[in-house]
Amino acid sequence: MNCPKCDLNIVQPNTAECPSCGVLLAKASSRPVRRPEYIRPQAPPPPTEASGIPWSKVVRIGIVVVAIWYGWQFVTGKKAAASSWYQGADGYERAVAEQKSTSQPIVLYFYTEWCGYCKKLDREVLSTAKFGSTYPSVIKVKVNPEKDGGAAGALAARYEIRGFPTVFVVPPKGRTASIVGYGDSEGFYARLTEAVTR
């Protein structure tokens, strides 16, 4: 017989008490002996696969896409505004030929690389999308008299350039108007609009 508590094998048949743990065998003998069972630890459930991309990642991707789009619009807008200008004395000759077929005014801009006001005029007015949309039909020419050999210098002498920046509005017929210097974008737009609509 085995002790129901400690599972000691008791050899003497009429023993009333377990010599090891002291349990009364007469009371415990009617119950079946239970051996302790070891409980196996359960394995953790497998990780659940994400059903999609988390929202935080979607939001981050969306922000990046919007930022890239706005950056692209800004850069291409500036490139479009800058690329629509004829350059140098050769560009002036092409602008004159275009003016004969379209009868649009020419905006002729004389500048230099060292002129701070020229850079400011370029940045605040001439290279902006607003300038292109305000004057979509004018023919635009940029001339740096210090570049392009003697042809640009001769063109500057012909227009009697005394300082930079100097902008001329050359209509198909009538008198040429000039804007010398640059103060701010508002004043420049007002003077240019007056010259273009004459």
Q: What mean pLDDT comes out for the span 62-73?
A: 78
Kindly tell me the number of DSSP H helices and DSSP E strands found in the chain. 7, 5
**Is the pLDDT score of 2 beyond 60?**
yes
DSSP label at 60? H
CATH topology of domain 77-196: Glutaredoxin (3.40.30)
Distance CA 181, CA 168 (A): 11
Q: Among positive and negative, which fits the CA dihedral 80, 110, 107, 172?
A: negative
Which tens digit of pLDDT belongs to each residue from 30-42? 555 555 566 666 7
> Domains of the chain: which residue ranges?
77-196
What is the pTM assigned to this prediction? 0.58
Which tens digit of pLDDT belongs to each residue from 149-167? 688 999 999 999 989 999 9
Looking at residue 53, what is its pLDDT? Answer: 67
Q: What mean pLDDT comes out for the span 112-137?
A: 92
Looking at residue 82, what is its pLDDT? Answer: 44
Which tens digit of pLDDT belongs to each residue from 139-152? 999 999 988 768 89
